[in-house]
A and B are shown apart, each in its own frame.
Chain A
Amino acid sequence: MDVTALLLSRIQFAFTVSFHIIFPSFTIGLAAWLTVLEGLHLATGRPAYRRVFEFWLKVFGVAFGLGVVSGIVLGFEFGTNWSELSRASGPIQGPLLSYETFTAFFLEASFFGVLLFGRSRVPPWFYLFSTAMVALGTTFSAYWIMVNNSWMQVPVGYAMENGAFVPTDWVAILFSPVVWVRFPHMLLAAYLTGAFCVAATGAWYLLRREFSAEARIMLRMGLYLAAVLVPVQIFFGHLTGDYVHDDQPAKFAAIEGRWHDEQPAAEVVIAIPDEASQSNAYEIKVPVLGSLIGSMSFTSREVGLTDFPPQDRPPMLIPFFAFRIMVGCGLIMLALAWAGSYLVAKERIEQNRMLLWCIFLSFPLPYVAILTGWFTAEVGRQPWTVYGLMRTADAMTPFLTTRLATISLVVFCVVYSFIFAFGIFYIYRLLRAGPVASLVLPPVAARPNRPMSVIDEPSHVATTAARDTAPRHVPAGE
C-alpha cells in the first residue's frame, strides 16, 4: 500500500484514539468505585475504606490527567485531518460533542480539582458529592461519545442538504436503539476494567502478603462486581452483534470470516482469512452455528463478503482476529471472575496462590478486549466514515500533504510514548508502594509548633474530628 496522507491520517487517528481510550475506560469505572468507597467510609467509618480510597485516588489522578490531555487532541483532529467530514457532519456531530463538553468535561474537571486538593476545604458531604459528580461526568462523556460514534455507524435522523448532514430528528439520534446497545456495552467494559485492575492489585498484595485488609476489600469488591457484570456484558455484546448483523452486513461477514453466502451458515471458530483467494486457510467450523448466532434460526441464509462490490468491502483480517481476541478475553475474565468469587465466598482464595497469580496477571485483559472491540467496530466500518454515506477517502482534509501528516504522526507518537512510559512507571510505583505509604499527618498549619509526626492512622481517621481537621496525605516518595 502506498504511504499517503490518507493512510497516515488514519493511522494517526487510530493511534491517538486508541491511546486515549485506555485511560477513560479505566477512570470511568474507577470514579464510580471511588464514590462507593467514599460513601461506605462515611456510612461505616471504617478506616480501611478511606485508605483504599486515598490510594486509588492517586492512581486515578495520573490516569485522569493522561485521559484529559490525550482527549483534547481528539477534539481538534476532526478539523485538522478530517475537515471534509467535519464540514459535512458538523451540524450533527458538532452539537453532540458540544453537549459532551457542557455536561461532562466541566463536571469532571471542576470537581476533580476538589477531589485532589479540596478534602480539607469542604465538608465531608460535599466531598462525597464531588466524587459522585466526577463519576457522573465520566458517564455522560461515554454516552455522548457513543451517540456520536453510533451515528457514524448507523446514521439516523438526518437529511442531506448541499452536501451536509442536516439533523431532522434529534430524538431518533439520541435514542437510537444502536446507542442503547453500544453505550451499555462500553460502560460495562469500563466498569470491568476498573474491577479487574482493582482485583488484580488486591491479588498482588495478597501474593506479597502485604496490606491484607485493603487487599481483601479490593479483591472481594472487584471479583464480585466482575462476576455479575461479565455475563451481562456478554449479553450486550450479543445485542451489539445483532445490530451489526442487521445494519452493517458487510462488517458482520468480515467478523464471521464468511466469504460466500451460506444456508444454513457455519460459524468459523478460527482460521486465517486470505483476501487474495477469498477463502480461509486452516479453518475450524461449527455447522449451523453461524445461522443460529446471526439470525437465531437453524436454516437462515447468511451473506458473505463477496456479495458486496470490492470497493464497499471492509478488510477482513483485522475485524476477524480483533473480534476473536475480544471474545477470548471476555471468556477468560468470566472464568476468573466466577472461580475467584466462589473462592472468596468460601474464604479459600488466599490459599489458592495459582488463582491469585492468574487474577494478578489478568489486568491487561479488559484493555485488550476494549481495544480489539473498537478495532472490530471501526475497521469493520471501512471503507466508510459515515456508514454507507461518506467514504473515509472523501472525509479527509483535501490539501493535507503527506509531509504534514508524517510530521504530526511522528510528533504524536513521540510525545505519547514519552508521557505513557512515565505515566505507567509512576502508576506502577504507586501500586507497588501500596496503600500504607499514604501516611496521614496532622495539618502543618494547625500545629505549627509540633514536629511533623506520623499519627497512628486508624485512631486518627476513625473519628469525625480527624476528618474535620483535615489530615494531609504524603506519599512515601516525597
Chain B
Amino acid sequence: MVMFWTFLLAAGLLLYVLLDGFDLGVGILFGLAPDEAARRSMMGAVAPVWDGNETWLVLGGTVLWGAFPVVYSVLLSAFYLPLLVMLAGLILRGVAFEYRMKTERLRWIWDAAFFGGSLIASFMQGAAVGALVEGLPILNGRYTGGELGWLSPFALLCGVGLCIGYTLLGACWLVRKCEAEVRDLAYRLIPALSIALLGFLVVVFVYALAENLQVMQRWLERPILFIFPLIGAAATLVLAYSVRHRRDGAPFFMVALIFAAAFGTLAISFWPYIIPFSITIYEAAAPHASLAFMFWGEGLFVFPLLLVYTAVTYSVFRGKASATSHHY
C-alpha cells in the first residue's frame, strides 16, 4: 500500500509537471508574443486543457494529505510564502483565460496577469523543489526554519531553472499545436532554451559537488542511477534532430522525456526519503486503513477511468488548434 501510493503520488506529480508545465510555459512565452493574433493562438493552444492540467496539482496535494499527512503538514507550513505567491500567480493566470476576451480596453491587464502569474508560479515551484533538495531544517517531525528557512541561492537557482524548463516544454507544445508565426517563434526559441536548461543542470551539478550535498554521495554510491541522465541525454539528441528537421510532433515528447528523466533522477536519489533526509515514506505514511480505503476506490477504479477520459478529452482537441475554433 505504501509503495502503491508512493508511486501514484510520484506519477501524479510527474504528470502535473509535464502537463501544467507546458501550459505555464506557454504563459511565459505569451510575454514574447508579437501581436494579438499570436497571443490568441497561444491561448487557444492550452485553453481547453489547462484546467485539467492544474487539477493534477490538487491531486498531488490531496493524495499527499491522505497518504502522507505528516509530509503535507510539514511541507505546506514550511513553504508558506512560496505557496502563497504561487497560488496568487495561479489565480491570476487562471482567470485570465476567461477574462481577457471579455474586454478590449483592459485586455492588457489580463495579458500581464497571464504572463506574470505563469512566471511567478513556475518560479516558486522550482524554488520549493530546490529548497527540498537542499534539505529543510526539521526537528521531531516539525519544520523549524522560520518564515524564510526555505530561501537560499540554490532554491532561487532552481526557480530560474524550472522557469526555463517549463518555457521549453511550452515552446514544444506550441510547435505541436500552432502554425505559421507562433510555430516559427517557438522553433527559434527551442535551441536557446535547451542550451539554457543544460547549462542550468550543469550549474546545479557543480553546485551540488561544491556544497557536497548529501544527494551527491548517494549518487557516487549507486552508479546505476546514471541511467536516468543517459536517457535524458539521448532525448536531447533526438530533440535536436527533430527541431532541425521541423518534426512538429516530436520535440514535446522528447522534452517530456528529459523532464521524466530529471524527475526520476530526483526521486531515486531521495529514495526512501520523502522529505530528504529526515522523513522516510514509511515514517510518513498514513495508517493502513486510510491507504486501503483510498486504494480500493480511487486507486484501483477511479484512477484508470480518469486516465481514460483525460485521454479522450485530449484526443477531442488533438491536432493543430486553429485560432478560429476558439469559443469566444
Chain A residue nearest to B44 in the complex (CB): A117
Within 8 A of B (CB), among A460-478: 472-475, 477-478
Q: How far is the CA of A84 from the CA of B77 in the complex (A)?
A: 10
Question: If the complex has contacts A73-B87, A83-B77, A94-B66, are A113 and B59 also in contact, measured as CB distance less than 8 A?
Answer: no
A112 and B76 contacting across the interface, CB-CB below 8 Å: no
Proximity bits, A75-108, B CB within 8 Å = 1, else 0: 1101111011011011111111111111101110
A477 cross-chain contacts in B, Cβ below 8 A: 102-104
Q: Tell me whether A345 is interfacial, beta carbon within 8 Å.
A: no
A110 and B58 contacting across the interface, CB-CB below 8 Å: no
Q: Tell me whether B268 is interfacial, beta carbon within 8 Å.
A: no
In-complex Cβ contact of B328 among A93, A443, A478 (8 A): A478
Majority secondary structure of chain B interface residues (helix, strand, loop or mixed): helix
Chain A residue nearest to B72 in the complex (CB): A79
Q: How far is the CA of A161 from the CA of B94 in the complex (A)?
A: 41
Question: If the complex has contacts A79-B77, A86-B72, A90-B66, are A419 and B328 also in contact, measured as CB distance less than 8 A?
Answer: no
Chain B residue nearest to A119 in the complex (CB): B327
Q: How far is the CA of A477 from the CA of B302 in the complex (A)?
A: 41
Within 8 A of B (CB), among A98-133: 98-103, 105-107, 109-114, 116-122, 133
In-complex Cβ contact of A98 among B54, B66, B94, B316 (8 A): B66
A98 and B98 contacting across the interface, CB-CB below 8 Å: no
Q: Tell me whether A61 is interfacial, beta carbon within 8 Å.
A: yes
Q: How far is the CA of A177 from the CA of B79 in the complex (A)?
A: 38
Stretch in contact with the other chain, from A259-267, A278-286, A326-334, A400-408 = A400-408
In-complex Cβ contact of B289 among A66, A116, A167 (8 A): A167
A167 and B293 contacting across the interface, CB-CB below 8 Å: yes
Q: How far is the CA of A89 from the CA of B67 in the complex (A)?
A: 12
Q: How far is the CA of A92 from the CA of B64 in the complex (A)?
A: 12
Q: Tell me whether B233 is interfacial, beta carbon within 8 Å.
A: no
Shortest distance from the beta carbon of A90 to any chain B beta carbon, whole Å: 2
Q: Tell me whether A175 is interfacial, beta carbon within 8 Å.
A: no
Q: Tell me whether B142 is interfacial, beta carbon within 8 Å.
A: yes
Q: Tell me whether B286 is interfacial, beta carbon within 8 Å.
A: yes
B287 and A426 contacting across the interface, CB-CB below 8 Å: no
Chain B residue nearest to A88 in the complex (CB): B69
Shortest distance from the beta carbon of B73 to any chain A beta carbon, whole Å: 4
B79 cross-chain contacts in A, Cβ below 8 A: 80
Stretch in contact with the other chain, from B168-176, B214-222, B305-313 = B305-313
B94 and A68 contacting across the interface, CB-CB below 8 Å: yes
Q: Tell me whether A229 is interfacial, beta carbon within 8 Å.
A: no
A98 and B63 contacting across the interface, CB-CB below 8 Å: yes
Within 8 A of A (CB), among B307-328: 309-310, 312-313, 316-317, 322, 324-328
B58 cross-chain contacts in A, Cβ below 8 A: 71-72, 75, 101, 105
B59 cross-chain contacts in A, Cβ below 8 A: 98, 101-102, 105-106
Question: If the complex has contacts A62-B98, A72-B54, A101-B55, are A80 and B77 also in contact, measured as CB distance less than 8 A?
Answer: yes
Q: How far is the CA of A116 from the CA of B49 in the complex (A)?
A: 11
B80 and A400 contacting across the interface, CB-CB below 8 Å: yes
Q: How far is the CA of A168 from the CA of B104 in the complex (A)?
A: 57
Q: How far is the CA of A475 from the CA of B104 in the complex (A)?
A: 13
Q: Tell me whether B153 is interfacial, beta carbon within 8 Å.
A: no
Chain A residue nearest to B63 in the complex (CB): A98
A97 and B62 contacting across the interface, CB-CB below 8 Å: yes
B92 and A419 contacting across the interface, CB-CB below 8 Å: yes
Q: Tell me whether B202 is interfacial, beta carbon within 8 Å.
A: no
B48 and A118 contacting across the interface, CB-CB below 8 Å: yes
Proximity bits, B76-100, A CB within 8 Å = 1, else 0: 1101110110011011101101110
Q: Tell me whether B52 is interfacial, beta carbon within 8 Å.
A: yes
B99 and A90 contacting across the interface, CB-CB below 8 Å: no
B238 cross-chain contacts in A, Cβ below 8 A: none
B87 and A87 contacting across the interface, CB-CB below 8 Å: no
A78 and B65 contacting across the interface, CB-CB below 8 Å: yes
Q: Tell me whether B181 is interfacial, beta carbon within 8 Å.
A: no
Q: How far is the CA of A118 from the CA of B99 in the complex (A)?
A: 19
Q: How far is the CA of A283 from the CA of B88 in the complex (A)?
A: 46
Shortest distance from the beta carbon of A70 to any chain B beta carbon, whole Å: 7
Q: How far is the CA of A94 from the CA of B294 in the complex (A)?
A: 10
B72 cross-chain contacts in A, Cβ below 8 A: 78-79, 86-87, 90, 94
Q: Tell me whether B231 is interfacial, beta carbon within 8 Å.
A: no
Chain B residue nearest to A401 in the complex (CB): B147
B91 and A112 contacting across the interface, CB-CB below 8 Å: no
Q: Tell me whether B297 is interfacial, beta carbon within 8 Å.
A: yes
A116 and B83 contacting across the interface, CB-CB below 8 Å: no
Q: Tell me whether A432 is interfacial, beta carbon within 8 Å.
A: no
B144 and A399 contacting across the interface, CB-CB below 8 Å: yes
Q: Tell me whether B143 is interfacial, beta carbon within 8 Å.
A: yes
Q: Tell me whether B47 is interfacial, beta carbon within 8 Å.
A: yes
Q: Tell me whether B206 is interfacial, beta carbon within 8 Å.
A: no
A161 cross-chain contacts in B, Cβ below 8 A: 287
In-complex Cβ contact of A473 among B73, B297, B327 (8 A): B327
Shortest distance from the beta carbon of B96 to any chain A beta carbon, whole Å: 9
Q: How far is the CA of A76 from the CA of B90 in the complex (A)?
A: 13
Chain B residue nearest to A427 in the complex (CB): B102
In-complex Cβ contact of A398 among B65, B142, B316 (8 A): B142
A213 cross-chain contacts in B, Cβ below 8 A: none
Q: How far is the CA of A83 from the CA of B104 in the complex (A)?
A: 43
A95 and B57 contacting across the interface, CB-CB below 8 Å: no
Q: How far is the CA of A114 from the CA of B318 in the complex (A)?
A: 12
A113 and B52 contacting across the interface, CB-CB below 8 Å: yes
Proximity bits, A419-437, B CB within 8 Å = 1, else 0: 1001100100110000000
Q: Tell me whether B199 is interfacial, beta carbon within 8 Å.
A: no
B322 and A445 contacting across the interface, CB-CB below 8 Å: yes
Chain A residue nearest to B288 in the complex (CB): A166
Q: How far is the CA of A93 from the CA of B326 in the complex (A)?
A: 39
A109 and B55 contacting across the interface, CB-CB below 8 Å: yes
Q: Tell me whether B51 is interfacial, beta carbon within 8 Å.
A: yes
Chain A residue nearest to B61 in the complex (CB): A75
Q: Tell me whether B70 is interfacial, beta carbon within 8 Å.
A: yes
A84 and B73 contacting across the interface, CB-CB below 8 Å: yes
B69 cross-chain contacts in A, Cβ below 8 A: 86-87, 89-91, 94, 164
Q: How far is the CA of A389 from the CA of B208 in the complex (A)?
A: 46
A121 and B51 contacting across the interface, CB-CB below 8 Å: no
In-complex Cβ contact of B65 among A61, A97, A113 (8 A): A97
Given contacts A91-B287, A92-B290, A99-B294, 7 further A-B contacts (CB under 8 A): A62-B99, A69-B94, A95-B293, A106-B310, A113-B313, A116-B327, A411-B88
25 A-B contacts, Cβ less than 8 Å apart? Answer: A62-B99, A73-B91, A75-B62, A76-B83, A79-B76, A80-B76, A83-B77, A86-B73, A87-B72, A87-B73, A90-B73, A94-B62, A94-B69, A95-B294, A97-B62, A99-B294, A101-B58, A106-B52, A107-B309, A111-B313, A399-B77, A415-B92, A472-B324, A477-B102, A477-B103
